[in-house]
């Protein structure tokens, strides 16, 4: 990068200030979640807790069903992630390797779906889910999201970048499409599949409006909706609210730590290198 | 094939008779046709899951939205009365719609340029081989893990008018407290600050992967030619990552028009409708007042706005994008 031509110490200074500003809300969350109620309520607000106090986490788990929310979000996010990887890998294989009439048309149809904002189809989808009696159910939270045009593009680009000679050789050896797909294309595309997996999981974990519309019962709430309960149950104990927030953040933080590399490497590949 | 040879009498010439050749060709043709047909079947089978899901949860609802927008509905979502373009007329003549449209534009202007600039700045700073870059890259992508629900809760506490950290910091700097979420002049700015922070992770990841895609040789030759850091950045890096920048711009603008969660949690559209954006308005009409028809009509207007903006960007901004 060009900015590396700046003096090192200056770069570090800028980085430290920037990192502190970006991480501040999260550090504040961590710090407050470890405080006692008395500490978190004093003014001026202390930056660090006097002692590390883990009791908040237990208390918040007792007060609201945090673990249930996390489990719900995990079930929904994993199911959608697996479904999206499957449906888009299949569709991407067809677009990348198979010849069939209507290919261009169908491909543009997939492209067009990316242009439709979710809000436009939200009302009819809500009515559909309600008429299927799927409100407050896992299938209501999962099924509408199982197909993704973005994922199909991303994987199509990944598949097309695999060496063609390999597949020609396999075909000459009598390897059919199903075997090519399962034993060659998928294993060779693990980085692309990982990118889609991480991206999809984080997106689903963070979904807000749809679970807000389709879940009412407490035991079906996901993290994003359940978190609102903290606001009402424990309005004045910031240490409890923020320890709940931290618990709900942990799974996606963990995934980000593990999945940052495939994300950085792969996210623009599908979108840009048409 | 084998059978053919064993059956042919030893006296036959090496080239088989014409009719046999014809039938072999015929067989070959039918087997090719069979393979083709199998390939086509396989292709449609591969596409079927996606197509079925898109059909049921995207194309059908899209058409149904158009249908609903022409009717008044009862609270159950059943159509009650055909009103033609009445819903659209109502929306386009209501002050609230223009207010929410203006708010959405303001929100876009406050979040998109700042969000992209901040992400680009941090991506440029962390693209080097200095020690500790891994940690900084992780920190700058951290907000990607923060969702609208958790993020809003954290900022709600930071924004607290009397006990919040931000007002405390302002007081340290000798400034008076700001009513972040309850002052109509500040509420949208507060929502925007929180949104820029929340979106920073994803934008940063996009920018970083764009910058990493630029070949090292180019920087080396720029340095040899005596190009300074800023000049190299604006004259070389920026044009080379313009596809990433353009993609981020399009995605960010679409995202800005869809903002909802942080507004629902932090301000509920208030104070005095100063943060009432289009999607929040749709949500209220459809799911608080159960007016699905007018909600659908508004959603379609949103669709047209987003589509127009995206097409305009492709027409006027993409010209300046430098694809390799």
CATH number at A155 reads 1.10.3720.10
CA B9 centroid distance within chain: 71
Q: Which two tokens stand for residue B210?
A: 């764009």
Q: Which two tokens stand for residue A182?
A: 């399962």
Radius of gyration for the alpha carbons in chain A, expressed in angstroms and rounded = 23
* Per-residue DSSP letter, B320: G
Distance from CA of A14 to the nearest CA of B (A): 8
Q: How far apart are the first and last CA of chain A?
A: 25
Contact B294, B281 (CB under 8 A): no
Select from B54, B174, B218, B185 the least CA-distant residue to A116.
B54
pLDDT of the residue at B10:
45
Given B128, B162, B302, which is nearest A4 (Cβ)? B128
pLDDT of the residue at B4:
40
* Per-residue DSSP letter, B73: E
Q: Which two tokens stand for residue A62?
A: 């007792």
The reply to whether A18 and A113 lie within a common domain is: no
pLDDT of the residue at A76:
96
Contact A242, A33 (CB under 8 A): yes
The reply to whether A31 and A115 lie within a common domain is: no
HSE-up (13 A, CA, CB side) for residue B146:
29
Q: Which residues of B touch A6 (CB under 8 A)?
A: 229
The reply to whether A195 and A211 lie within a common domain is: yes
Given B50, B144, B231, which is nearest A202 (Cβ)? B144
The reply to whether A177 and A96 lie within a common domain is: yes
Cβ of B303 within 8 Å of Cβ of A116? The answer is yes
B145 reaches A (C-beta below 8 A): yes
Given B125, B233, B303, which is nearest A120 (Cβ)? B303
Helices (H), chain B: 2-7, 18-54, 60-69, 86-92, 95-126, 133-141, 148-158, 165-172, 187-212, 216-224, 229-232, 238-240, 242-257, 261-266, 278-283, 292-312
* CA atoms of B265 and B149, how far apart (whole Å): 8
Which chain B residue has the Cα nearest residue A178? B42
The reply to whether A108 and A193 lie within a common domain is: yes
pLDDT of the residue at A3:
52
Helices A238-272 and A66-97 cross at an angle (nearest 10°) of 0
Ordered by start, the domain boundaries in chain B are 2-69, 87-320
* CA atoms of A180 and A162, how far apart (whole Å): 12
Please give the interface size between A and B, counted as residue pairs whose CB atoms are below 8 Å apart. 294
At residue A133, the 3 state secondary structure works out as coil
Contact B159, B180 (CB under 8 A): yes
Chain A 230-269, residues with CB within 8 Å of chain B CB atoms: 230-231, 238, 241-242, 245, 248-249, 252-253, 255-257, 260, 263-268
B249 reaches A (C-beta below 8 A): no
B114 reaches A (C-beta below 8 A): no
Chain A 175-194, residues with CB within 8 Å of chain B CB atoms: 177-178
pLDDT of the residue at B18:
64
* CA atoms of B174 and B96, how far apart (whole Å): 38
The reply to whether A187 and A260 lie within a common domain is: yes
Contact B157, A241 (CB under 8 A): yes
* CA atoms of B286 and B75, how far apart (whole Å): 9
Residue B16 phi/psi, 5° resolution? -65, 160
Contact A76, A144 (CB under 8 A): no
Q: Which residues of B touch A175 (CB under 8 A)?
A: none
The reply to whether A184 and A227 lie within a common domain is: yes
Q: How many domains does chain A have?
A: 2
Domain boundary (A10, A36, A58) is at A58
* Interface-testing mutation among B147, B170, B224, B255, with chain A (most A C-beta atoms within 10 A): B147
* CA atoms of A201 and B269, how far apart (whole Å): 29
Collect contacts of B83-86 with beta carbons under 8 A, ≥24 apart.
Answer: B83/B293
pLDDT of the residue at A165:
84
Distance from CA of B177 to the nearest CA of A (A): 13
Which residues, in sequence order, are CB contacts of B302 under 8 Å at separation 6+?
A: A117, A119, A120, B257, B278, B279, B282
Which residues, in sequence order, are CB contacts of B203 under 8 Å at separation 6+?
A: B115, B116, B118, B119, B248, B252
Q: Which two tokens stand for residue A272?
A: 């840009």
A80 reaches B (C-beta below 8 A): no
The reply to whether A41 and A145 lie within a common domain is: no
The reply to whether A53 and A72 lie within a common domain is: no
pLDDT of the residue at B177:
87
Cβ of A87 within 8 Å of Cβ of B146? The answer is no
Using 70 as the pLDDT threshold, list the residues of chain B that sit under it. Answer: 1-18, 324
* CA atoms of B282 and B286, how far apart (whole Å): 6
CB atoms within 10 A of CB B129: 7
The reply to whether A148 and A200 lie within a common domain is: yes
For residue A31, give its domain range.
2-58
pLDDT of the residue at A234:
56
Superfamily of domain B87-320: MetI-like (1.10.3720.10)
* Pairing outcome for strands B71-73 and B79-82: antiparallel
pLDDT tens digits in sequence order for chain A, 274 residues long: 445 556 788 889 999 999 999 999 999 999 998 988 878 777 777 888 887 878 888 888 888 888 999 999 999 999 999 999 999 999 999 999 999 999 999 998 888 888 888 888 999 999 999 999 999 999 999 999 999 998 998 899 889 888 888 888 888 888 888 888 998 899 988 888 988 998 899 889 989 999 999 998 888 999 888 888 877 665 668 888 899 899 989 988 998 888 887 777 766 554 444 3
Is residue B73 classed exposed, middle or buried when 0-12, 13-18 and 19+ CB atoms within 10 A define those classes?
A: buried
B77 reaches A (C-beta below 8 A): yes
Domain boundary (A58, A81, A98) is at A58
* CA atoms of B57 and A147, how far apart (whole Å): 9
Cβ of B50 within 8 Å of Cβ of A212? The answer is no
The reply to whether A85 and A119 lie within a common domain is: yes
Helices (H), B8-94: 18-54, 60-69, 86-92
Instruction: Kindly state whether residue A244 falls inside one of the protein's structural domains.
Output: no
Instruction: Kindly state whether residue A128 falls inside one of the protein's structural domains.
Output: yes
Q: Which residues of A touch B222 (CB under 8 A)?
A: 2
Contact B306, B254 (CB under 8 A): yes
Contact A123, B309 (CB under 8 A): no
pLDDT of the residue at B2:
38
The reply to whether A44 and A76 lie within a common domain is: no
Cβ of A121 within 8 Å of Cβ of B65? The answer is yes
Select from A245, A239, A203 the least CA-distant residue to A223.
A245
Helix, strand, coil share (%) of chain A residues, nearest 5: 80, 0, 20
Contact B76, A113 (CB under 8 A): no
Given A28, A116, A249, which is nearest B145 (Cβ)? A249
B126 reaches A (C-beta below 8 A): yes
Q: Which residues of A touch B125 (CB under 8 A)?
A: 3, 11, 14-15, 18
pLDDT of the residue at B318:
80
* Per-residue DSSP letter, A144: G
């Amino acid at each position: 990068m060009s900015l590396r031509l700046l003096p090192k110490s200056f770069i570090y200074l800028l980085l430290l200030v920037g990192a502190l500003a970006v991480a501040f809300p999260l550090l504040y969350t961590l710090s407050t979640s470890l405080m006692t109620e008395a500490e978190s309520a004093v003014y001026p607000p202390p930056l660090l807790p006097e002692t590390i106090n883990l009791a908040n986490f237990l208390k918040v788990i007792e007060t609201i069903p945090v673990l249930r929310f996390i489990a719900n979000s995990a079930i929904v996010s994993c199911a959608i992630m697996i479904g999206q990887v499957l449906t888009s890998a299949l569709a991407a294989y067809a677009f990348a390797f198979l010849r069939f009439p209507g290919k261009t048309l169908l491909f543009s149809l997939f492209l067009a779906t990316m242009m439709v904002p979710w809000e436009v189809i939200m009302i009819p989808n809500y009515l559909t889910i309600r008429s299927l009696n799927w409100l407050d159910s896992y299938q209501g939270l999962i099924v509408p999201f199982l197909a993704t045009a973005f994922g199909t593009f991303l994987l199509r680009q990944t598949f097309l970048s695999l060496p063609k000679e390999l597949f020609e050789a396999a075909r000459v050896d009598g390897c059919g499409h199903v075997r090519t797909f399962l034993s060659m294309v998928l294993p060779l595309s693990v980085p692309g599949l990982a990118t889609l997996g991480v991206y999809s999981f984080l997106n689903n974990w963070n979904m807000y409006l749809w679970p807000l519309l389709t879940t009412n019962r407490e035991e079906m709430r996901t993290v994003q909706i359940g978190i609102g309960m903290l606001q009402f149950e424990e309005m004045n104990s910031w240490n409890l609210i923020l320890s709940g927030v931290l618990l709900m953040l942990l799974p996606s933080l963990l995934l980000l730590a593990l999945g940052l590399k495939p994300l950085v490497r792969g996210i623009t590949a599908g979108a840009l290198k048409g | 094939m084998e059978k053919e040879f064993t059956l042919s009498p030893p006296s036959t010439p090496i080239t088989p008779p014409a009719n046999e050749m014809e039938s072999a060709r015929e067989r070959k043709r039918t087997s090719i046709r069979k393979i083709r047909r199998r390939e086509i079947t396989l292709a449609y089978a591969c596409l079927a899951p996606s197509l079925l899901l898109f059909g049921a949860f995207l194309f059908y609802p899209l058409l149904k939205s158009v249908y609903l927008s022409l009717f008044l509905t009862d609270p159950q979502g059943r159509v009650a009365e055909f009103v033609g373009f009445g819903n659209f007329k109502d929306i386009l003549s209501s002050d609230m719609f223009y207010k929410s449209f203006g708010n959405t534009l303001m929100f876009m202007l406050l979040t998109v340029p700042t969000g992209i600039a901040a992400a680009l700045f941090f991506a440029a700073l962390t693209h080097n081989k200095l020690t500790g870059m891994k940690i900084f890259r992780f920190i700058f992508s951290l907000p990607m893990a923060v969702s609208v629900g958790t993020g809003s809760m954290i900022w709600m506490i930071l924004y607290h008018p009397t006990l919040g950290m931000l007002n405390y910091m302002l007081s340290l700097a000798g400034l008076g407290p700001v009513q972040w979420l309850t002052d109509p002049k500040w509420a949208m700015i507060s929502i925007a600050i929180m949104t820029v922070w929340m979106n920073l992770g994803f934008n940063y990841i996009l920018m970083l992967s764009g910058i990493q895609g630029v070949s090292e040789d180019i920087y080396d030759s720029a340095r040899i030619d005596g190009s300074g850091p800023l000049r190299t950045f604006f004259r070389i890096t920026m044009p080379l990552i313009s596809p990433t920048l353009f993609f981020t711009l399009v995605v960010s603008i679409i995202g800005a028009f869809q903002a909802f969660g942080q507004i629902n949690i932090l301000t509920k559209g208030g104070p005095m409708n100063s943060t009432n954006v289009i999607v929040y308005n749709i949500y209220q009409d459809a799911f608080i007042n159960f007016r699905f028809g007018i909600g659908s009509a508004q959603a379609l207007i949103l669709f047209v706005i987003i589509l127009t903006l995206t097409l305009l960007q492709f027409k006027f901004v993409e010209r300046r994008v430098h694809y390799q």
